[in-house]
Amino acid sequence: MKINQVAVIGTGTMGNGIVHSFALAGFKVSMIGVSDQLNQEALLKIQANLSRQVKKNLISENGMQTALNNISAFTAIKDGTQQADLIVEAVPEDEDVKRKVFQQIDQYAPVHAIIASNTSSLPITRIGAFTNRSENVVGMHFMNPVPLMPLVEVIRGFNTSDTTNEAIKEITIQLGKTPVEVNDYPGFVANRILMPMINEAIYALFEGVAGVQQIDAVMKLGMAHPMGPLQLADFIGLDVCNSILNVLYQDFKNPKYAPCPLLQKMAQSGNLGVKSGKGFYDYSSGGKDLVVASYFLK
């Protein structure tokens, strides 16, 4: 299947990274956000990230401008998906939100269009059932930061067709990334393994085993992780980590996936990590200082 026009729904960290990657690879991309303001903020973020690639001699100035010219912004799913061959959903990890989005895609997108979800934990079979064309629905789980990370988990739902599955693997390669096909279980492979590790690191902090910097240092120096689990949680977003763990807990009914009370409190407080300026570290001034408030540990 030939894919020329791509639509991406969602302008957050993952959404704008996915737009960036498709546009840089030469695809025409419709970026669909909930408002003109959020679309403009996403475009500025994409431009800034492309500029960094230019400075590092990864792409040319012409390549950056071509990528930016490949992007069109919309605020309605109806308008942004009517000509799309591939639609990638990258909205928050909330099943009700995703259901509404997929029902609109099903209503307005061309019959031939592939519909991919960037969900990090929800089963693709369940998402496919939100539409009347589950054979066209597939999981396309990008890693953060999207422009830099080579992995895309490809998740085939119960009704996903061979044509859809192969087309997604092919386009992933066209993006310069590596598709890895995994089975359709909550959390797939990446987050089923990663989130319990992050949660256990937060429990170690919560129970006073060690401090933030010490926990991260052990995992970096002792396990050769490029980033400690608490810093990684900040990078992913503590609200996202909490949501993924809740999905795993609800679907598997296993207490090992229950989010740590400290994680829940931080997600509720609005201290979400890099995107809010504060999490386990302080990013408000461009630094990375410890900011876990004492009341979180009570």
Residue type, 113: A
Map tokens 């605020």 to a residue: 75
153 catalytic residue (yes or no): yes
Whether 25 and 177 have beta carbons less than 8 Å apart is answered as no
Bond from prior residue into 145 cis (ω within 30 degrees of 0): yes
135 catalytic residue (yes or no): no
Q: Which one of 39, 153, 199, 242 is the catalytic residue?
A: 153
User: How many whole angstroms separate alpha carbon 281 and alpha carbon 274?
Assistant: 8
Q: Which one of 21, 118, 120, 242 is the catalytic residue?
A: 120
Q: Which residues, listed in sequence order, are joined to residue 88 by a DSSP beta bridge?
A: 8, 116
Those residues with Cβ within 8 angstroms of residue 135's Cβ, 6 or more apart along the chain or in another chain: 159, 160, 161, 164
Q: Which one of 30, 89, 134, 141 is the catalytic residue?
A: 141
141 catalytic residue (yes or no): yes
**Structure tokens, 252:** 């598997």
Q: Which one of 118, 191, 242, 243 is the catalytic residue?
A: 191
62 catalytic residue (yes or no): no
Map tokens 């302080």 to a residue: 282
**Measured CA distances, 287 to 216, 221, 281, 291 (Å):** 16, 21, 8, 11
Strands annotated E in 34-177: 71-74, 86-89, 114-117, 137-142, 151-156
Among 181, 174, 102, residue whose Cα is nearest residue 140:
181
* 156 backbone dihedrals φ, ψ, rounded to 5°: -95, 120
Those residues with Cβ within 8 angstroms of residue 28's Cβ, 6 or more apart along the chain or in another chain: 4, 5, 6, 70, 72
State the catalytic residues: 120, 141, 153, 191
